[in-house]
A and B are shown apart, each in its own frame.
Chain A
Amino acid sequence: MYIETKDLKKSYGEGGSYVQVLKGVSIKIDKGELCVIQGTSGSGKSTLLNCIGGLDGIDSGDVSVAGTLIRGLKGERLSDYRRANLGFIFQFYNLVPNLTVRENIQVCEYLTNDPLDIDELIGVLGLTEHQYKFPSQLSGGQQQRCAIARALVKNPKVLLCDEPTGALDSKTSRDILVLLEKINRQYGTTMLIVTHNNSIKNMVDHVIYLKDGEIYKDYYNETKVPAAELEDL
């Protein structure tokens, strides 16, 4: 398995405020798979994503990504793990406000010795005409595309997307999903998308549904629909 968690447990707080967010989650995702993690608010989907991305520690269990066991990694080694394997896309883009689109992408270009061609990437993401604009000059969709480009430029093995369309309107959301689908196809990037949007599950290979910190459903989508055809986004 390319991404695998075994009996992953994660909790927050102590005493009266103790909350166990993940209660022994075990999942397996293949390389190049387009996977969505769904669940209601507080189900633990973002926590699971963060644990896989090494952004959050785990209490017990194991997480392995592309053969790398995350548990025990700290500091620089954790950074190296993320640098070598992961790309992140966030709901609120998190672009460097005083860098242009191109420069925001270039920030991550240096993180790998084998970056994607930035011009091509900008072209693929439809940012060519916006590449010298600052984030504040872009729409939400354009900013998210920029964020995607920034995540992709270092050619990550896994793209972790946390509510990538959460802040976007329906049309823009579809555009972004189409783009992600395209990238998955074009670059073979394994993608893990956390969303509460129920429609997105229709475009992915693998659906994991979390409820109260446990796997509620884990299935492969046999009736995959192209992103462009998704409804009710």
Chain B
Amino acid sequence: MGWILFKRAVRDLKAGWARYLALSILIIFSLFIVISLMGASVTVMDCTEISDRQLNREDGEFSVFVPLRNDELTKLNDKGVTVERMFYADYAVNETKVLRAFKVRESINKVGLIDGRMPEKDDEAVIERRYSEVNDIKVGSRITLGGIEFTVTGIGAVPDYNNMIKKVSDSVVDSKSFGLVFITSDAYDKLYASGASLSSEEYYYAYILGSQMSEEELKNTLEDIEFKVSDVDDKYFKEYWDRMTGKKDDLLDAVEKLNDGAKELSDGAKELSDGTNEFHDGMHDLKKSVPDLKKGIKSLDDGAAEFEKGIKEYTNGVGKVATGASSLSKGAKTLAKGTKQLNSGAKQFGTGMDAYARTVGSMTKSENPYVAGVAKEMDGSTKQLASGYKQINSGVSGVNSGASSLSKGAGQLYDGIKKLNSIGATLRSGVSSLHKGTTELRKGANKFADGIEKLYDGSAELKNGAKELADGAKEYADGMQEFADETKDFVNEYFDIKSSNLMLFMNHSENPRVGAAADDVQITYTASIIFGVLLVMLFAYVISVFIVHMIDQESAVIGALYSMGVKRRTLTLSYVAVPVIVAFISGVIGTVLAVLTPAGIPAQLQDSLSYYSMPEVTIKVTPFILIYGLVIPPVTAFIVNVLVIRKRLRKTPLALLRNEQKAVRGKDLKIKGLKFISMFRLRQMIRELRAGLTVILGMFMSLLVALMAINTFVYCSRVKDFYVSQTKYEYMYNYKYPTEEIPEGGYEAVAESLRKEIYGYTFDVMMLGITKDNPFFETGDLPDNDTDVVLSSAVAVKYNLKTGDEFTLKDGNGGRLYAFKVAKIIDYSATLAVFMDIDRCRDLFGEDDKYYNVVFSDHALDIDSGRLYSTVTKSDIEKSAGIYVDMMGPMITVMSTASAVIFAVVMYLMVKMMIDRSTFNISLVKIFGFRNREVRKMYLDGNFITVALGALVVIPLCKIIMDYIYPRYLVSNVGVGISPSYPPELFVAIFLVIIGLYLVINFVLTGRLKKINPAVVLKNRE
């Protein structure tokens, strides 16, 4: 049975050949494109992998300030790391073309020759493929660099410049003006020695890791390698180094002094605190003694009062004493007179005594014992009397003398008392004053005591304050020490860029130059697979609509066959045979055309070959591609059709025999208030919902393709327009060794290359610190805080950022993250740039307040090339901006055309089928007397509404989907941030194109409507 029903399928194919041919052509065309893209993608990926392996593609590369010493290289080699020099310098071929000269590589990133041979002599060179192609340089051609002429002996490509961008941060390849040249080692040295290079030599190394060292370890090892300044012979470097290291020392000295100052401050504060402690203690004692003082002063005052009183009494006494003394003096004189008389009496008494004594003496000698005895008794008392006399005489003498002295003294006393009396008056006056003074003193002492109280309180506060000050000063000193340590570390680290030799470290996956073609086509490959399946599904679905139509027509036959015992599976297979056959044959043709014709894979391959610098490429067709091309279409057609027709074939044989229709869609829909034709049209639309939805589905699929093309067109056009219109400067000088003074006429800026990842790709984002007067960027007032920045629209679009968002960027080695907030977004698409004030930028990156490394200018400046990394001119940007349009133009045309054809064919087939299905009904209404115009309104104009409404829904829907897909999958590897948003008129244009296509199809089908002959149709029906 199978083959019998297969015959039926074949005949069905023959019967509907035009329709199936149209669909087949679409499938062929779609698969041709898809397989071509897949084949080209696989070829690129495969060739890249093979050539990378054969040419020993690097695992990564790094650049250093000065070339590594042999011992440093040996150290790396000992760890199993293979390292090879990739030094280069750029040379102008003419005013617009630059060649980057390398020595011939020996072990890593070797040149893959496409033609010719490697250079053997010093005047021979191999030219990079793309440059040679674009500039029509062939083996045997001659080029001149730095005044030295080279003969081109070969054309080749290297794995580390698969994407021929001049700088890693560049987004566009311009092989017309930039290429590579490989020359012998001696030739290279000789060329560089000529001094003709546009900039100083760059010291790049490529590495291949062994098994002993990881990438991280290698990076750490390289970071630890320092260089000797004496090893550098670049005069610009030396000048720069001296300037920068001088600043480092100044900075470190300043920090050291600051630290010392902080220590002294701390010590001083400590002493101050101690002093205030002592002061406070003293104040405490003072405070304690104040009551005693007050008491003492009171006593003093009281004493002074008493003293005053005493003095008064004293002076009174002295007066009296003076009077007494006067009397005394007079008495003394009298006494002196009396004593003189006494003395004279004493002398007389003495004479008498002598006479008495002699008498007694003589009596003692008397014989008279009585007399002698009495005389003897008398003699003793006479002697005592004589002795007493002597003493009296002596005393009288003394009294006499004393009286004399007394008299004299009394005179003197009197004189003295007189004097004392006069002094006493003075004393009295003084004591009075003294008393007044002590009274004042007493009052003062009270005030003093109050003052001391306050002073004490103040001293307590002072003490506490001094303590806090001391503590603060200590903390400050500690902090200062930490700050000094940190600053030293920071300064050392910061200036380490000058002392650590490593400048850049990048593994191959981060390097946009390496494997870019394979990365690029990976997206194409994935998109092709998906779009291929989607397109085949669309076409299979379109076929299934016909099959469903056929099943409806053959319902009774199917019922009859079921009645006989034919199984559903058999019939299902017979009905899906047509779409499967169509899809299979179309798949085969499409695949064969893609694989075997130059317009297939080779043509698609040109997209890669004309942009990327690929080595020798051999077309590769993998089993998967063949399976995809040969198996996916029939399998997809099978699945789609089985899913669609399964339900129809599930009816009972009786239902099929009776050709029972499922309840007509919308039969319950109450339509009121419409004229008959409008109502009929609406019901017809509902009845033909499946076909209408298929038209919309076709519109959706074709619009996706169309919008991909339009998005690409808008994207590329805007790159071309915006890059030029938004680039206001004429020259951008990127300094390696900036001069101390900014070149006149230039606007300095600080540019730091940071990185940010999105959708699996990491791009350089230029942090640009600009001056307020920079006329080239319309940033307005730049934020004056540390976190807010102004974004270029490129960054905002690329990273989906809007005002107020926060985002981070990381430094080149990924070690440090910088967080920012979007303050403003400006229209600037030419670079992924973030703007901030130059001083803040300097602060952020620890540069001094005069640092700059970029100068913008509206005219050429006289800057020594040896100081520069590169110079970007507006004309460079103009040239590169147009490359996208040139490159993508053919693809845009093909895709736009393809989408229009897909849509037109699907719509044509569906509308035609709708008419076919309604042929009987149309005949009837014609018989009823409806005119062609009315019939058209009833049966065709509903399609217009379907198409118009569908377009209104599908266009924005497709745009939303494409805007989601586009940045994530189609330009995710491009470092460009441009919104492919459409102006409103473009949406209108797309809508009008759809309506236009419909009207053309409608016009064609209206002719068919007119041709329907009711009699013939009714007869056929019968």
Contact = CB atoms under 8 A, between A and B. Distances in A.
B11 interface: yes
Interface residues of A, number: 33
A98 B556 contact: no
Nearest to B13: A98
B560 interface: yes
Contact of A106 (B1, B557, B563): B1
A118 B1 CA distance: 14
A90 B561 CA distance: 11
B8 A94 contact: no
B15 A107 contact: no
Contact of A111 (B2, B556, B560, B564): B564
Q: Determine which residue in B2, B15, B562, B654 has the highest number of CB atoms from chain A within 10 A of its CB, and name it.
A: B654
A108 interface: yes
Interface in A66-98: 76, 79-84, 86-88, 90, 92, 94-98
Given A55-B653, A95-B557, A99-B7, A80 B565 contact: yes
B8 A86 contact: no
A90 B564 CA distance: 11
Contacts of A111: 1, 564-566
Interface residues of B, number: 26
Interface in B899-949: none
Contacts of A108: 1, 561, 564-566
B556 A92 contact: yes
A82 to B, nearest CB: 4
Contacts of B557: 94-97
Contact of B657 (A83, A90, A107): A90
A109 interface: yes
A99 B567 CA distance: 18
Contacts of A97: 554, 557
Contacts of A82: 562-565
A81 B565 CA distance: 8
A103 B567 contact: no
A103 B6 CA distance: 11
A96 B8 contact: yes
A95 B564 CA distance: 12
Contacts of B11: 98-99
Interface in B648-673: 652-654, 657
Contacts of A84: 565
B866 interface: no
A55 B657 contact: yes
Q: Determine which residue in A53, A81, A108 has the highest number of CB atoms from chain B within 10 A of its CB, and name it.
A: A108
Given A96-B8, A103-B7, A88 B1 contact: no
B441 interface: no
Contact of A98 (B2, B15, B559): B15
Contacts, number: 87
A219 B40 CA distance: 81
A107 B373 CA distance: 218
A110 B565 CA distance: 10
Interface in A100-130: 103, 106-111
B565 A99 contact: no
B5 interface: yes
A107 B1 contact: yes
Contact of A151 (B559, B562, B564): B564
A86 B565 CA distance: 8
Q: Determine which residue in A82, A86, A98, A150 has the highest number of CB atoms from chain B within 10 A of its CB, and name it.
A: A98
A112 to B, nearest CB: 9
A154 interface: yes
A55 to B, nearest CB: 4
A56 B1 contact: no
Q: Determine which residue in A92, A94, A99 has the highest number of CB atoms from chain B within 10 A of its CB, and name it.
A: A94
B577 to A, nearest CB: 12
A50 interface: yes
Interface string A130-166: 0000000000000000010011001000000000000
Contacts of A81: 565
A154 B565 CA distance: 10
Nearest to B557: A94
Contacts of B657: 55, 90, 94
B4 A103 contact: yes
Nearest to B564: A108
Given A55-B657, A106-B4, A107-B4, A96 B554 contact: yes
A99 B557 CA distance: 12
Interface in B690-742: none
B12 interface: yes
A145 to B, nearest CB: 15
B560 to A, nearest CB: 3
Contacts of A55: 563, 652-654, 657
Contacts of B566: 79, 83, 107-108, 111
Given A95-B557, A103-B4, A56 B652 contact: yes
Interface string B546-557: 000000001011
A172 B203 CA distance: 102
B15 A150 contact: no
A109 to B, nearest CB: 7
Q: Determine which residue in B2, B5, B554, B561 has the highest number of CB atoms from chain A within 10 A of its CB, and name it.
A: B561
Q: Determine which residue in B2, B12, B556 has the highest number of CB atoms from chain A within 10 A of its CB, and name it.
A: B556
Contact of B560 (A90, A98, A106): A90
A4 to B, nearest CB: 21
A99 B4 contact: yes
A154 B654 contact: no
Contacts of A88: 560, 563-564
Given A107-B1, A108-B564, A111-B564, A94 B559 contact: yes
A111 B557 CA distance: 16
B564 A83 contact: yes
A87 B564 contact: yes
Contacts of B8: 96, 98-99, 103
Contacts of B565: 79-84, 86, 108, 111, 154
A86 B563 contact: yes
Contact of B567 (A76, A86, A94, A98): A76
Given A50-B654, A56-B652, A98 B12 contact: yes
A96 B8 CA distance: 8
Contacts of B653: 55
B556 A109 contact: no
Contacts of A147: 560
B5 to A, nearest CB: 7
A146 to B, nearest CB: 12
Interface in B560-603: 560-568
A88 B557 CA distance: 12
Contacts of B564: 82-83, 86-88, 108, 111, 150-151, 154
Q: Determine which residue in B5, B564, B657 has the highest number of CB atoms from chain A within 10 A of its CB, and name it.
A: B564
B554 A79 contact: no
Interface in B938-978: none
Contacts of B7: 99, 103
A144 B12 CA distance: 23
A152 to B, nearest CB: 11
Nearest to A94: B560
Contacts of A53: 563
A100 B370 CA distance: 228
Given A55-B654, A83-B565, A84-B565, A107 B5 contact: yes
Given A82-B562, A111-B565, 18 more contacts: A56-B652, A76-B567, A79-B567, A82-B563, A83-B564, A86-B565, A90-B560, A90-B657, A94-B556, A94-B559, A97-B554, A99-B11, A106-B1, A106-B4, A111-B566, A147-B560, A151-B564, A154-B564
Interface of B: 1-2, 4-5, 7-8, 11-12, 15, 554, 556-557, 559-568, 652-654, 657
Top 10 closest pairs, chain A to chain B, by CB: A83-B565, A94-B560, A110-B1, A98-B11, A88-B563, A82-B565, A55-B654, A94-B556, A55-B653, A94-B557
10 contacts: A56-B654, A76-B567, A79-B568, A81-B565, A83-B566, A96-B5, A98-B15, A107-B566, A111-B1, A111-B564
